[in-house]
Amino acid sequence: MTRIPEPDETPDGPAWEGRLLDRPDEEVVDQGVAFDVRTLMSRRGLLAVLGAGAGSLVLAACTTGGGSTSGATGSATASATPSAEPTSGSTAAVPAAEIPDETAGPYPGDGSNGPDVLARSGIVRSDIRSSLDGGATAAGVPMTLTLTILDQAAGDAPFAGVAVYVWHCDASGGYSMYSDGITDETYLRGVQVADADGAVTFTSIFPACYSGRWPHIHFEVYPDAASVTDSSSTIATSQVAMPQAACETVYALADYDGSSRNLGQVSLTSDGVFGDDGGALQLGTTTGDATRGYAVALTARVDTATTPTAGSAPGGR
């Protein structure tokens, strides 16, 4: 059983790791995303002092999640960690243009269309396979996703410090917080703060292909950690298109029943989101396989000199 941390009593009120609690009447684990982000950033600072060995243990304690396994069973397992190495953001080619603005779809979970996971404590995490507060864990082929965000207005410099919120469907095509049977779950949703290379990495599962859409992963970019709780403050909202070869391999597995059929009825050029350019600026690169897991990577240029044209509207998928 995980021990709930006890705050320190100070003359100014209860505190944790030197910071006063935002919600003094609630437990440390229920302080909300802003407090979680500040904890994450302060622990990252320890890495420079302690080194990658001891420091990484501190960071892992803040960013990983846990929970019980549920959902589809079969050859794919949610407990495995992808052994394929993620593509390094520092060596990825710079895209030809700004990442296209896309709809956040009807299942954003950011408060713009119903439930808001971004107000929940624990949402700042790298492993998004499990629901918060010990809920279910999504089963499927293991996947790591690395997004590297570049600041186009600053000459494509790494956009360090931006917060990136990622969400996608499970192996059955359902979205936690919205789809029947999983409205109480929060898996496959998480936030990370970009490092000095502008990169964030999530551990997840390969998403399904549901009817009418090319397989994809949603993401929102916020200017900083403090902005995450306000969905209207995004500086970019877009989607990652999954490569066809990897999709065809994964969807042959029993856990992804129906995905192969759905994939055969759509293409990157006919998809309602990627169809205008075939996903040229949004197509992820992959390494790995269905046994060891896949590493998916995408470099996205974000232009803060332009006004976002998509995002919180619940249209599209």
Q: Of the ranges 119-123, 211-215, 243-247, 306-310, which one carries the lowest mean pLDDT score?
A: 306-310
297 touches 87 (CB < 8 A): yes
The DSSP 8-state label assigned to residue 183 in this structure reads: T
Instruction: Find the radius of gyration of the CA atoms of the chain.
Output: 19
**CA dist., res. 263 & res. 248, Å (int):** 8
CATH dotted code for 64-302: 2.60.130.10
117 touches 33 (CB < 8 A): no
Residue 282 pLDDT greater than 70, yes or no = yes
Cβ partners under 8 Å of residue 66, min gap 6:
2, 130, 134
The mean of the pLDDT values for the chain is 83
What Cα–Cα distance (Å) separates residue 196 from each residue in 20, 44, 270? Answer: 27, 11, 37
Domain positions in the chain: 12-59, 64-302
**CA dist., res. 202 & res. 215, Å (int):** 17
Per-residue pLDDT reduced to its tens digit, 183-213: 999 999 999 999 999 999 999 999 999 999 9
- The closest of 137, 13, 19 to 80, measured between CA atoms, is 137
pLDDT of residue 218: 98
Residue 71 pLDDT greater than 90, yes or no = no
Residues 214-220 have a mean pLDDT of 98
Residues 212-234 have a mean pLDDT of 95
pLDDT category at 92 given cuts 50, 70, 90 is low
Residues 261-269 have a mean pLDDT of 98
